[in-house]
Amino acid sequence: MKLQFCFFILFVFFTNLSSVNAQSKNTTGVYYDYKVRCIGKELDGSLTLESFGKGRNYFDASEQAKKDAVYAVIFLGIREGNGGCNSDPIILNSSVQAANEDYFANFFRDKGPYTEFTSLKDERISNKIDRNSMKTRTFQQRMLVVRVDRLGIKNKLIKDNIIKY
């Protein structure tokens, strides 16, 4: 009787241990992919967006959030958040990106021309303190409030003969 009870206790222990291991394997390193959201549209043609970036450290994650915001304005359009933003992308034809691959690789390089069209002037101190972020051993994810000059990007693309209007 005692031997059966010991086997029962061991069975319950190993069953719980294996279920805990299975659960931790499923939830470790989960990355939630957030879309760029509209917060508002300014009268000068710029958009205030909430963007998430992922990187090795705070600065990489912040730069990636800015790149994602500009990329969404140019190629994807803004579909989430406040309906006040223009949801159409600047470049409607998807083949333009492939045809001008070198131009956009240079445009989105680190500290590239895309930085001329972004600013953090709408970032509030409360957002900096209570920032949605996720940190693991390998990466950090940060949320930024980014203002993107949509009209300035459009004028630059027209001037550089990428699009025609």
In three-state secondary structure terms, 50 is: strand
Contact 61, 54 (CB under 8 A): yes
The gap from C-alpha 93 to its chain's centroid, in whole angstroms, comes to 23
pLDDT digits (tens, 9 = 90+) for 67-121: 999 999 999 988 888 777 767 889 988 888 888 899 999 999 988 899 999 988 7
**Environment class of residue 34 by beta-carbon count within 10 Å: exposed (0-12), middle (13-18) or buried (19+)?**
middle
Q: Is the dihedral of CA 66, 68, 72, 75 positive or negative?
A: positive
pLDDT digits (tens, 9 = 90+) for 25-83: 444 444 555 788 888 888 888 889 998 888 888 888 889 999 999 999 999 988 888 77
> What residue spans define the domains of the chain?
34-159
